Amino acid sequence: MYSIGRVAQETGVKVPTIRYYEQIGLLPEPDRSAGRQRLYTPRTVERLAFIRHARELGFPLPAIRDLLSLSDQPDRPCEAADAIAVEQLGQVERRLNQLQALKQELSRMIVQCRGGSISECRIIEVLSDHSQCEAKSHAGL
Is-above-0.95 flag for pTM? no
pLDDT digits (tens, 9 = 90+) for 26-84: 999 998 988 888 999 999 999 999 999 999 999 999 999 999 999 989 899 999 999 99
Domain span including residue 100: 96-141
Three-state SS for the chain is CECHHHHHHHHCCCHHHHHHHHHCCCCCCCEECCCCCEEECHHHHHHHHHHHHHHHCCCCHHHHHHHHHHHCCCCCCCHHHHHHHHHHHHHHHHHHHHHHHHHHHHHHHHHHCCCCCHHHCHHHHHHHCHHHCCCCCCCCC
- The domain tally of the chain equals 2
Q: Is the residue at 41 inside a domain?
A: yes
Mean pLDDT of 102-109: 86
Q: Is the residue at 67 inside a domain?
A: no
